[in-house]
Amino acid sequence: MNRDIFWLTIRELAGRRRLALVVLLGVLPSLVSVAYRLGDQNTAAARWTADTLLYNVIITIFLPLVALIFGTSALGSEVEDGTAIFLLSKPVTRGSVISAKLMAAWALTAVFVVPAASVSGAIAIWGTPEQGIITGFVVACVLGALAYDSLFVMLSAFTTRALFVGLAYVFIWEGIINSIFSGTRFFSIRQCCLGVAALISSAPEETFSANLSGLESIVILAVAVVVPVWAAVRLLRMYQVGESG
């Protein structure tokens, strides 16, 4: 990984507007937790935290959205703004470029998702035995962020419409199709996250359960990182400038 490109990308991505958007989004789960504490709490705290808050809100919506914001812009904004030529006309291997961009996107995604998950989870589950739920989901978020960012970086090396494809993947493939055809759960980063969380936490089945075993999840996540990165490097090697005068 090229450290200069890493820091350059961090600076590029951490623009004021982007950060404001992500911070705004990040506060919401905590507000929801506060609302839960103030209310009736007719669902057991552990179950609510795991299932509703950490899975339905953080892993299903918040994590992919933040990953989309940083993952598609890491490489995509270079191409869109025209600075890709500067970066690529240097004797830096394409592998180091991609890994630097990916690490930057991952770092930023994790920096926002981990606090959002931990804080909102801590608020909700305060007082009851934690059973490793928050730890489990935070680790799941971190690994899921890496997988999502890998996928999105690869997509942005492939097409200028990476954001749309990424959206379709998250909301149509993982959202709709996976819920109808349960056999496709092996191709879902979301399900893997759930599996990792279940693996780490010691909570019983009724609290929350995953559709994939811990081992399956880790293997699939590893594949979901390695394959897109390899593809992205190959695609970047073939980067060409369009025709003009």
> Rule CB under 8 A: which residues touch another protein?
2, 4-5, 8, 11-12, 17-18, 21, 25, 28, 31-32, 35-36, 38-43, 48, 52-53, 56-57, 60-62, 65, 68-69, 72-73, 76, 81-83, 85-94, 159, 161, 163-164, 167-168, 171-172, 175-176, 237-241, 243-245
Contact 143/193 with Cβ under 8 angstroms?
yes
Nearer CB in complex with another protein: 210/233: 233
Q: Which of 167, 212, 161 is nearest to 190 (CA)?
A: 212
Nearer CB in complex with another protein: 56/202: 56
Nearer CB in complex with another protein: 37/223: 37
Q: What's the closest the beta carbon of residue 61 comes to another protein, in angstroms?
A: 5
Contact 146/58 with Cβ under 8 angstroms?
no
Nearer CB in complex with another protein: 118/200: 118
Q: What's the closest the beta carbon of residue 82 comes to another protein, in angstroms?
A: 4
Q: What's the closest the beta carbon of residue 65 comes to another protein, in angstroms?
A: 6
- SS3 per-residue string spanning 35-92: HHHHCCCCCCHHHHHHHHHHHHHHHHHHHHHHHHHHHHHHHHHHHHHCCHHHHHCCCC
Structure tokens at 55: 């899975």
Contact 40/122 with Cβ under 8 angstroms?
no
Q: What's the closest the beta carbon of residue 204 comes to another protein, in angstroms?
A: 21
Nearer CB in complex with another protein: 4/223: 4
DSSP for residue 128: S
Contact 191/104 with Cβ under 8 angstroms?
no
Q: What's the closest the beta carbon of residue 176 comes to another protein, in angstroms?
A: 7
